[in-house]
């Protein structure tokens, strides 16, 4: 079970290429998230998988069945592909009741009862879509997509129109779906929090894939500056390698920085290094420093604070201009405020070196 995609598609505007997409990935039965800004080509990839757009060339295979193969001239119609596709606005049929919407793709409505209770929409069968809340509409759309026993489930921005409570609920529903159906689930999002749910994260740049990996890997070890920015790393600096030690490397930036060694570095090489805002440690002045945080110590003045609920974003101006994300309770306990000078540690293990330049 799994999906294999390797496609190219170019759109022309007045005979000149206007947008072109190149995407290639292969996944098992897991939750994969297509992550990136809008306009990157994520929905286009979905349309290609669903047979709504024909790629210029390439292959699409799902569970060993070839949906599309430009060289062998295979191009199954959407109808033949068995795709569970939940559109961003759910695309429920406004003239049909919940029951008829869900049963639209099946011949006998024997699975209806089961799916109604799986998605907890019993009692709503006779309603029309405009009589449902956003969360209910989405569950109807999910039920309608899954009742045809699809080989793969595609969800376009499923979280975008939901409030916090419904988001949590959808996470639970997605787990249920995976356990019950065991099919690959592909989901589009531009929200880093939802991207973190993925087993595999596929990061889209404009017109192509930038990086594929586990969310942890991508959020902590982005391959490029572009990916780093996409996953919310704004502390990005350049420097020159000035010393290579046994396990570490020293980078001459605005200040000297010590970072974990990666292979292939040479002295004098220009590199980019970065650190996640939530990995910057704000130090308590009344406590002696533990060994692990006694690396890369800097100080700076707080110039702006943005509360974000459970965390606060701090911007400091000092040796390095840093963005820091810290728990709100720690912020309160240290009685921080704009104008105060603080000490921070850029923990060696949290520093990530990007070799591109």
The residues binding another protein (CB under 8 A) are 50-52, 77-79, 81-85, 87, 89, 91, 93-95, 104-105, 144-145, 148
The single-letter DSSP state of residue 255 is S
C-alpha–C-alpha distance, residues 83 and 307, integer Å = 42
Could you tell me the smallest distance in angstroms from the CB atom of residue 95 to another protein?
A: 5
Q: How far is the CB of 23 from another protein (least distance, A)?
A: 19
Smallest separation (angstroms) from another protein to the CB of 102: 10
Compare residues 144 and 312 and give the one whose CB is closer to another protein: 144
When the beta carbons of 140 and 302 are compared against another protein, the nearer one is 140
Residue 85 CB, nearest distance to another protein (Å)? 5
Query: Closer to another protein at the Cβ: 154 or 272?
Result: 154
Going from the C-alpha of 94 to that of each of 90, 98, 338, the distances in angstroms are 11, 9, 52
The span from the first CA to the last CA of the chain, in angstroms, equals 39
Put residue 259 in one of left, alpha, beta given phi > 0 → left and psi -120 to 50 → alpha: beta
Residue count of the chain: 357
Angle, helices 134-146 vs 164-181, to 10°: value is 10
Long-range contacts of 252-257 (CB under 8 A, 24+ apart): 253/320, 254/319, 254/320, 255/298, 255/319, 255/320, 257/296, 257/346, 257/351
- How many CA atoms within 13 Å lie on the side-chain side of 152? 31
Q: Cβ closer to another protein: 88 or 224?
A: 88
Closest contact distance (angstroms) between CB of 166 and another protein is 21
- Choose between 46 and 204: whose C-beta lies nearer to another protein: 46
Least separation in angstroms between CB 179 and another protein: 23
> What's the Cα-to-Cα distance from 228 to each of 56, 70, 150, 264, rounded to whole Å?
31, 34, 35, 21
- What's the CA gap between 278 and 337, in Å, rounded? 18
CB of 94 to another protein, least distance (A): 7
- Residue closer to another protein, measured from CB, 83 or 281: 83
């Amino acid at each position: 079970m799994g999906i294999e995609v390797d496609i190219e598609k170019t759109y022309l505007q007045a005979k000149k290429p206007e947008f072109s997409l190149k995407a290639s990935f292969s996944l098992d039965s897991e939750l994969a998230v297509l992550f990136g800004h809008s306009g990157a080509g994520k929905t286009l990839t979905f349309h290609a998988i669903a047979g709504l757009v024909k790629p210029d060339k390439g292959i699409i295979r799902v569970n060993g069945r070839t949906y599309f193969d430009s060289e062998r001239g295979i191009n199954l119609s959407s109808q033949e592909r068995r795709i569970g596709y939940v559109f961003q606005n759910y695309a429920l049929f406004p003239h049909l009741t919940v029951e008829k919407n869900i049963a639209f793709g099946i011949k006998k409505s024997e699975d209806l009862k089961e799916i109604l209770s799986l998605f907890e929409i019993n009692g709503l069968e006779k309603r029309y879509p405009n009589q449902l809340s956003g969360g209910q509409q989405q569950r109807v759309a999910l039920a309608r997509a899954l009742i045809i026993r699809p080989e793969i489930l595609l969800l376009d921005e499923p979280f975008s129109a939901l409030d916090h409570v419904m988001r949590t609920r959808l996470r639970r529903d997605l787990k249920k779906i995976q356990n019950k159906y065991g099919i690959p689930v592909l989901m589009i999002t531009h929200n880093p929090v939802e991207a973190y749910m993925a087993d595999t994260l596929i990061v889209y740049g404009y017109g192509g894939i930038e990086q594929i990996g586990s969310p942890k890997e991508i959020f902590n070890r982005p391959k490029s500056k572009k990916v780093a920015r996409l996953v919310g790393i704004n502390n990005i600096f350049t420097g020159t390698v000035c010393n290579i030690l046994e396990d570490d490397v020293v980078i001459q930036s605005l200040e000297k920085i010590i970072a974990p060694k990666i292979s292939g570095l040479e002295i004098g090489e220009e590199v980019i290094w970065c650190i996640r805002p939530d990995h910057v440690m704000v130090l308590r002045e009344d406590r002696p420093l533990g060994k692990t945080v006694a690396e890369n110590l800097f100080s700076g003045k707080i110039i702006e604070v943005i509360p974000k609920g459970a965390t606060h974003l701090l911007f400091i101006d000092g040796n390095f201009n840093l963005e820091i994300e810290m728990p709100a309770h720690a912020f309160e306990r240290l009685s921080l405020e704009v104008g105060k000078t603080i000490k921070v540690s850029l923990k060696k293990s949290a520093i990530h070196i990007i070799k591109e330049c």
